[in-house]
Structure 1
Amino acid sequence: MSGRMSEGLEKVYAARATDELAEAYSAWADDYDRETLSLGYCLPFVITAFIARYVPRKDSLLLDAGCGTGLTGPYLAALGYSRLAGLDMAPDMLAIARNRGCYADLTVGVLGNPLPFADEQFTAVFSTGVFTEGHAPASSISELARIVRAGGHLIFTVRDSILEKNGFGREIETLVGSRDWTSVEESPLFRAFAIAEPDVLVKAFVFQRSMA
């Protein structure tokens, strides 16, 4: 990291266990939007471009996995996506997301654990800013894939520093090599923050589940 992070971001990156991470995000909830947006955090908005490129608006049910305060929600609603659910580990973050008025359902849950959703429940599942240092494990990818419908899409970003660590590369290769999934797009690396932290780079991945 370059320069000084916000206090909230420092506590998040200092967390060493899931419960510590959830507590750090809950404590940060009231200041999260102001602090991250002042740094130019753009992933909640960039992800809408990948969704709009591949996911039809009509009758699509989307899950924002790791939705935080729900920054993405209003922009998906503006693009015509009216059926949106959210999942996050921090109830205080979900309370803010709920106040945005565009998530029909919000669930407390931890990526890396079994999720409280049925097989093939969602038209598309997306997750951005979650697969980064000290956050959700690579095993989350297969669990997110489980809840995508036939013909649906799984869209997520991964921090460059963990792409080849902790099983992320292996999980992505498994999807690439699976007959059930097709790799639709793999973006070049791009900045997660438009203003600060120029060394924080991510890559976006888009997969589509086969119809059969």
Structure 2
Amino acid sequence: MPHAVNQRHAVSAIPKRGQLRQTAIESAEGGVMPIRHEHAKADPKVFYGAKDQDTLVERYDESAGVYDAAMTDDVGWTGHIELAKVVERHVDKRTRICDAGAGTGLLGELLAEAGYRDMSANDLSPGMLEVARRKRIYSHCRVMELGKPLGYANSVFGATTACGVFTPNHAPASSFDELLRITRAGGLILYTLRSDEEPPDFSARQQELVDAGKWELVKAGEPFPSIASEPHIRHRCWVWRVL
């Protein structure tokens, strides 16, 4: 079961991008430092370059032990911080949440600190999910693959999140169908989506689901720089209400 989190931690405790540790990202000359050797397995380029799903799972499994440190200290990933802020603005603390593609639980940690207690996680990487399980912030952690049937009953969650998974060579736009199925009517689906290099079919699928009366747009955030070590990379936070 999830552990008790200090109640003093809330939305205001979620760091701003400018508060992230920059010592491993900026050199004395003001340039971007390469990722540290011991964290090289968690370089985003390693994941984006995976040739197939098996390779992607293998690379995430291999990087699981250093992933959090590499992504927050070296790479300067901020997607989980931005999405956590959006979740807190739109989702009641008592809501049952599915953290889809949870990885090591970076988003879940922030939500737990903010007071969310009823969270379940899934991910395609057993290694990443084991790291998330040890944090004791999720009621359940299960290996599942976005884009395929998810092992949940219909309409069991009041909100579903997906952080950092809708990006090149990762979860497909067809993932939306199952996220809609497991989220109750009136519930929210909140996710980050790469905007500088949007993966195939996402815009079209979003609109198809609007036209089909499956969901309605609540909020499309402005693109933000999501990886300090790759300043050209942008993500947006999206919020949809299930109909």
Query: TM-score, normalized by length of structure 2?
Result: 0.80
Alignment equivalent of 1:130, drawn from 136, 152, 165: 165
For these two proteins, the number of residue pairs brought into alignment is 206
SS of 1:76's equivalent? helix
Give the whole-Å Cα distance in 1 for the aligned partners of 2:137 and 2:208: 34
SS of 1:30's equivalent? coil
**1:114-160, Cα deviation, whole Å (9 max, x unpaired):** 11111111110010110111111111112211111011000111111
**1:60-96, Cα deviation, whole Å (9 max, x unpaired):** 1101111111112222112211100001011111111
Q: Which residue of 2 aligns with 1:40?
A: 76
Alignment equivalent of 1:177, drawn from 198, 207, 211: 211
SS of 1:119's equivalent? coil
Deviation of 1:161 (Å) = 4.0
Deviation of 1:188 (Å) = 1.1
Give the whole-Å Cα distance in 2 for the aligned partners of 1:114 and 1:83: 22
Q: What is the percentage of aligned positions where both structures have the same residue?
A: 33
Is residue 133–residue 161 contact of structure 1 (8 Å, CA) maintained in 2?
no
**12-21 or 62-71, larger mean C-alpha shift:** 12-21
Deviation of 1:177 (Å) = 2.7
Matched, 1:204 2:240: no
* Alpha carbons of structure 1 residues 199 and 3: separation in structure 2 relative to 1, 3 Å: farther
Q: Which runs of 5+ in 1 are unaligned?
A: none
What letter matches 2:166 in structure 1?
F
Alignment equivalent of 1:55, drawn from 91, 98, 106: 91
Q: How does 1:59-208 map to 2 (within 5 A)?
A: 60-163=95-198, 165-193=199-227, 195-208=228-241
What letter matches 1:209 in structure 2?
V
Give the whole-Å Cα distance in 1 for the aligned partners of 2:168 and 2:215: 26
Structure showing greater radius of gyration is: 2
Deviation of 1:107 (Å) = 0.7
What letter matches 1:22 in structure 2?
V
SS of 1:126's equivalent? strand
Deviation of 1:11 (Å) = 2.5
Q: How does 1:10-29 map to 2 (within 5 A)?
A: 10-29=45-64
SS of 2:77's equivalent? coil
Give the whole-Å Cα distance in 1 for the aligned partners of 2:101 and 2:119: 13
What letter matches 1:57 in structure 2?
K
Deviation of 1:23 (Å) = 0.6
Is residue 107–residue 163 contact of structure 2 (8 Å, CA) maintained in 1?
no
**1:19-76, Cα deviation, whole Å (9 max, x unpaired):** 1101100000011111111221111222111111111112x11011111111122221
Is residue 87–residue 106 contact of structure 1 (8 Å, CA) maintained in 2?
yes
Give the whole-Å Cα distance in 2 for the aligned partners of 1:162 and 1:137: 14
